[in-house]
Structure 1
Amino acid sequence: MLGSIFVVKDLPPLVEVSVSFDCTVSYECTTLDLWVLFLKGISGVKSLSVQKFISTLPLPVFPNMKHLELKRFWHSGKFLERCPELEHLCIEKLEEFDWIEPKLVPACMLTSLTTIKFTRCKGQKWEMQFLEYMLGNAEVLKTLTITWENLRMEEESRLCVELLELPRASRYCEIHFIGN
């Protein structure tokens, strides 16, 4: 937990940052405000891994970010809107409220997002909605890799067929499945 206010400014360009926010209660407004300020201070980062972040506050723009890894990130669609140059997206385990479809298709999905890795997928409704959105809007996507978590082979096969039948914005997109 954050015990005091901090200032992050004038940092040299960062290549990679990995952060785990242990804020599991969304009404901790003061703490969440400080985390958003922290993210603003590192907004020049090229690669970012974020774990356990819950906030409805506006996020800073990450103009240089090429690689983003989200683990248990609430409203992950809003993060995509803030990363116009994103090329590689890694998502680990979406919970029901982690994915909210952006109002507008994020710029990165139209121009630069080429790979998506989705691990610990269970085939839940919201996970399938996320995958359908990504396939249907990522115009330059080359590879989508999905790693199934603890599914029976019959269920994996059914979900694979369902995903392979979805329309794709990129005609060059390959879908890879890892599981049983």
Structure 2
Amino acid sequence: MDIISDLSDELLLKILQLVPTKVAVSTSILSKRWEYLWMWLPKLDYCDSIGSDHECGRLQSFLDRNLPLHRAPVIESFRLRICCSCLKPKNIKMSVLTAVSHCARELEILNQFFLAKPEILPSNLYTCKTLVILKLVGEIFLDVPRMVSLPSLKTLELERVTYFKDGTLQRLLSNCPILEYLVLILKDQDNSGKLTVVVPSLQSLSLYIPYAHDIDGVVIETPCLKYFILWDLSWQDHYFLIENMPFLAEAYVDVNLSDTKSLIGSITSVKRLGICSKLMLDEDFVFNQLEQLKVCSCTFFFSNRLFWLLKASSNLQGLYFSHMKDHDYSLQDMDDWNEPSTVPECMLSSLQTLHWSTYTGEPRERDIAVYILKNARHLKTATIKSTESEVPKSEMLKELELSSRASAACQLMFE
């Protein structure tokens, strides 16, 4: 211990940053040299123990007594995870207030426990000029005041929080002038009315609407967006208004909507697209920049939808089939694969890679695989990964190996 104590404060702080905050604080009993050293830590991570009232009480006492005395001029990262009822809203609010007053750059609050009064965010959080990353998860009440200014915020994640009223979210977003990364996971068994996301600077948007969430509609205006993930599983049909996103490069779409024209029309410029949906595609849509297409079983088992996707993607280079989530359909409800009378342009000119995970060898899958092998002239590799199935793997492999191939250079790999 004497050797370590001879190190400079700067080196000791770097060592303390490598261990949990709880451990770093415990070093204060080692000697006078160590008593206040932890108070200069620029990164703090506090978590109460699930089901341990003793630990939770200690954390509450510690935060109330010591956190206001923290000496680091800048708190680079402050995380507080609440798993039991010992921490009261006033304790949480004071912790956040302290972090903000120390020019916090990253703030993460996770509250897994129901609070009768979940107003745990101080108003000065919404005017923190240094905050770059903000993550709020769980039982947190978001009541955004009129005076909002987050000039440095680039990353915002809001997961299952409660919004004070319609317009709360957009008021917050409209005062984040350089926001680039946004994750919105709406709360189950909740109603958000109309969801509006208008952020000119945004480059990445992930939006999750659960099945039991009641929503009237979604408006998205993000002209600089490059990356888009949408899980819209809401049971209630609603409108979707999306302005054109000309710089969008990658998108993943899973929706239950009946009208998808606005949605599909806004993502036609993508280079990489993942689809897990039974959505209908208008034949006028063209994905002329699409290079990689990942398709879920619920889409490609409906033969018309798969054919339309391939037909609309004239420059497609990679085609990937997989089960992206659990489904409630049965094979008996699926369309038979009726071989189209024409061949999509991508198979004749650009398709080079076929990757099929969870292949079962079931007749509908086999017919689709054989069709692709027979018509893809420039295919280089076809990788088939088999899952547990009634069809033996040796039989699956033999069927595909004996099928005709348009590309003599194609390597068929079976795993």
- Which band: TM-score by shorter chain? 0.7 to 0.9
Match of residue 265 from structure 2: 40
1:12-60 alpha-carbon deviations (Å, 9 max, x no partner) = 3211111111x2xxxxxxx322x23211111001100011224264361
Which of 389, 398, 401 in structure 2 is aligned with 1:164? 401
2:293–2:320 CA contact under 8 A, matched in 1: yes
Give 3-state SS (helix, strand or coil) of 1:53's partner. coil
Range with greater deviation from structure 2 (116-125 or 71-80): 71-80
- The letter for the 1-side match of 2:295 is L
> Superposed, which structure 2 residues align to 1:1-180 within 5 Å?
3-4=216-217, 5-21=239-255, 23=256, 31-33=257-259, 35-55=260-280, 57-58=282-283, 60-71=285-296, 72-73=298-299, 74=302, 75-93=305-323, 96-97=334-335, 99-151=337-389, 155-178=392-415
- Determine the C-alpha separation between the residues in 2 that align with 1:121 and 1:40: 31
TM-score normalized with structure 2 length: 0.38
Give 3-state SS (helix, strand or coil) of 1:91's partner. strand
Do the aligned partners of residues 52 and 100 (structure 1) sit closer, same or farther apart at CA in structure 2, a change above 3 Å counting?
farther
- Determine the C-alpha separation between the residues in 1 that align with 2:394 and 2:261: 41
Do the aligned partners of residues 120 and 113 (structure 1) sit closer, same or farther apart at CA in structure 2, a change above 3 Å counting?
same
- Determine the C-alpha separation between the residues in 1 that align with 2:356 and 2:285: 24
1:110-142 alpha-carbon deviations (Å, 9 max, x no partner) = 010000111111111111110110000000000
Match of residue 27 from structure 1: none
* Structure 1, unpaired ranges of 5+: 24-30
- 1:77 Cα shift? 1.7
- Determine the C-alpha separation between the residues in 2 that align with 1:59 and 1:124: 32
Give 3-state SS (helix, strand or coil) of 1:90's partner. strand
- Determine the C-alpha separation between the residues in 2 that align with 1:88 and 1:98: 24
- Determine the C-alpha separation between the residues in 2 that align with 1:98 and 1:92: 18
2:295–2:320 CA contact under 8 A, matched in 1: yes
* Structure 2, unpaired ranges of 5+: 1-210, 218-238, 324-330
- 1:163 Cα shift? 0.7
- The letter for the 2-side match of 1:3 is D
- Determine the C-alpha separation between the residues in 2 that align with 1:10 and 1:44: 9
TM-score normalized with structure 1 length: 0.84
Aligned-residue Cα RMSD (Å) equals 2.3
1:76–1:98 CA contact under 8 A, matched in 2: no
- Determine the C-alpha separation between the residues in 2 that align with 1:60 and 1:125: 30
- 1:98 Cα shift? 7.7
1:20–1:51 CA contact under 8 A, matched in 2: yes
- Determine the C-alpha separation between the residues in 1 that align with 2:282 and 2:288: 18
- Determine the C-alpha separation between the residues in 2 that align with 1:121 and 1:168: 19
1:110–1:137 CA contact under 8 A, matched in 2: yes
Give 3-state SS (helix, strand or coil) of 1:103's partner. coil
% identical aligned pairs: 28
- Determine the C-alpha separation between the residues in 2 that align with 1:136 and 1:99: 15
- Determine the C-alpha separation between the residues in 2 that align with 1:164 and 1:156: 12
| Pairs aligned (count) | 168
- 1:80 Cα shift? 0.3
Q: Determine which structure has greater relative contact order: mean sequence separation of CA pairs < 8 Å that are 6+ residues apart, divided by chain length.
A: 1
- 1:84 Cα shift? 0.3
1:105–1:137 CA contact under 8 A, matched in 2: yes
Which protein has the larger Cα radius of gyration, Structure 1 or Structure 2? 2
